[in-house]
């Protein structure tokens, strides 16, 4: 049941889907990928960081320079490092030997947009690695710019696409 803005109760039917990280006993469980075959898998994720006009005015040569160093360059390195450590951060993720991880950062629409792309040839996808890369890069931007403003907002972290597994996914804005 859900209470709507008009204080009416509405019954909502949710489609039930089997959660892949829950075993038959209802306990957390790593997904068994031993029977899957390897394939090339790619995922892209995006993070959007609103830093405000004051910080954006500090842009020089397509990067922000702070006392801590170049923000975008540091965020790129941090994002790649985050992707490589995903299985250490997310409990039931399989450790993956990434084939590639690329981070692109640009100012777009008054905000900083981070796009993380990860590729692996393996038995499981790289969505979590791409999402982690984008997240860690966004957190690094926040950390390096917080001395200039505490009104920074990490507005969005989203999977943009994944290919190479059972189901491909491409985010389309509605």
The C-alpha angle 172, 124, 159, rounded to 5 degrees, equals: 25
Which pTM value belongs to this model?
Answer: 0.85
Dihedral sign for Cα 132, 134, 135, 137, please: positive
What does the alpha-carbon distance between residue 130 and residue 118 come to, in Å, rounded to a whole number?
Answer: 6
pLDDT tens digit string along 28-70? 888 889 999 999 999 999 999 999 998 988 877 778 888 888 9
| Catalytic residue list contains 143 | yes
Q: What domains sit in the chain, N to C, each tagged with a CATH number? A: 39-163 (3.30.70.640)
């Amino acid at each position: 049941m859900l209470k709507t803005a008009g204080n009416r109760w509405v019954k909502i039917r949710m489609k039930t889907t089997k959660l892949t990280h829950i075993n038959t006993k209802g306990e957390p469980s790593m997904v068994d990928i031993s029977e899957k075959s390897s394939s090339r898998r790619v995922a892209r994720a995006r993070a959007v960081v609103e830093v405000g006009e004051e910080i954006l005015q500090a842009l020089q040569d397509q990067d922000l320079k702070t006392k801590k160093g170049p923000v975008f360059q540091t965020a790129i390195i941090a994002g790649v490092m985050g992707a490589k450590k995903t299985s250490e951060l997310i409990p039931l993720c399989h450790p993956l030997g990434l084939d590639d991880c690329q981070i692109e950062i640009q100012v777009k629409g008054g905000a900083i947009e981070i796009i993380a792309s990860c590729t692996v040839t393996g038995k499981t996808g790289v969505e979590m690695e791409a999402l982690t890369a984008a997240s860690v890069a966004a957190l690094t931007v926040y950390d390096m710019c917080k001395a200039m403003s505490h009104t920074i907002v990490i507005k969005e972290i989203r999977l943009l696409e994944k290919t190479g597994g059972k189901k491909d996914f491409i985010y389309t804005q509605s």
